[in-house]
Amino acid sequence: MTDMRITHLRHRFGLSEGQARLYADLCFGGVRNV
């Protein structure tokens, strides 16, 4: 699920993985993908 959310952000906003993780952190209240 986490990867799907990050992938969605990347495709929607054209972000890099690092940026998408940062946005996911803000949008989804902290995504932990180790």
Q: In this predicted structure, what is the pLDDT of residue 7?
A: 81
Classify the phi-psi angles of 14: left when phi > 0, otherwise alpha if psi is within -120 to 50, otherwise beta: left
CA distance 7 to 23: 11
Domain ranges of the chain: 1-34
Q: In this predicted structure, what is the pLDDT of residue 23?
A: 80
Q: In this predicted structure, what is the pLDDT of residue 34?
A: 46
CA distance 12 to 34: 23
Instruction: Give pLDDT tens digits along the chain (34 positions).
Output: 567 877 887 888 787 888 877 887 887 765 555 4
Q: In this predicted structure, what is the pLDDT of residue 27?
A: 75
Which element (helix H / strand E) includes 21? helix 17-27
pTM, 2 dp = 0.46
